[in-house]
Amino acid sequence: METEEMVLHLLNEMIEGRNAFFARTMNRISPTHRDALTSRFFLNELCYLEITNRVFQNSVRARNNAATTLLTMSIPLNFMDPVNVNPTAQQIANATAPVPTPLAGTTCPICQDALTENAVRITHCNHTYHQSCLDSWLTMSVRCPVCRYDIRGTEGSANQTSSDAE
C-alpha cells in the first residue's frame, strides 16, 4: 500500500472514530466530564494528524525532495469555552415571588445562612433563597439550585427531561 493510500485510510478511520465518539460515547459520559474528555480527544486527534503529516512529508521528500503538507487542522481558541445560558429578567420575574416572612430556622440553600429578609422563592417548586443569592445563581444557570427545575418553563410545565439536564 502506498503512503498516500495509507494516509487516506488513516483519515477515513479517524473520521469513523470521531463519529463513533460523538454519536455513541458522549451520550454515556456525565456532563461534568464532557469538556475535559472532548478537549483530550481533540488533542489526541491533533497528534495523530501531525504524525500523519510527518509520514507523508517524509514519503514525498524521499520521492521527489519536495515537502508538501497534506493536512492542516485548527481548533478555534474559544471552542471549549463554557457557554452560559441566562434567564431573562422577565423569565425570572415570572418564575419567582417574594417571601415576606420566611419560616423560622429556614436557611438559604446557596449560602447556608438563615433567611430573615429579602427572601424569594421559585414558584414552581417553592424553594426559597436570599434574593441576592438567587440573582447570582441565575447569572450562571437557568435551573433551581435544589431540584434543577428550568425556570424558563411556563407555569404548569416541568420542562425537565433527561436530555435537557445540564
Answer with the residue of higher pLDDT: 82 or 143. Answer: 143
Q: Is the pLDDT of residue 62 over 90?
A: no
Vertex 89: Cα angle to 83 and 95 (nearest 5) = 100
Query: Nearest 5°: phi and psi at 47?
Result: -60, -45
CA neighbor of 24 nearest in space, from 16, 13, 36, 35: 16
In angstroms, the CA 161 to CA 166 distance is: 10
CA neighbor of 121 nearest in space, from 105, 99, 137, 142: 99
Q: Which long-range contacts (CB under 8 A, 24 or more apart) does 79-83 make?
A: 79/42, 80/35, 80/38, 80/39, 82/35
In angstroms, the CA 146 to CA 47 distance is: 42
The ranges assigned to domains in the chain are 3-64, 89-160
In angstroms, the CA 82 to CA 72 distance is: 25
What's the CATH superfamily of 89-160?
Zinc/RING finger domain, C3HC4 (zinc finger) (3.30.40.10)
CA neighbor of 75 nearest in space, from 44, 54, 32, 52: 44
Q: What is the model's pLDDT at position 162?
A: 37
Band of pLDDT at residue 164, cut at 50, 70 and 90: very low
Model pTM greater than 0.85?
A: no
Residue range 6-31, pLDDT digits in tens: 888 888 888 888 888 888 877 788 87
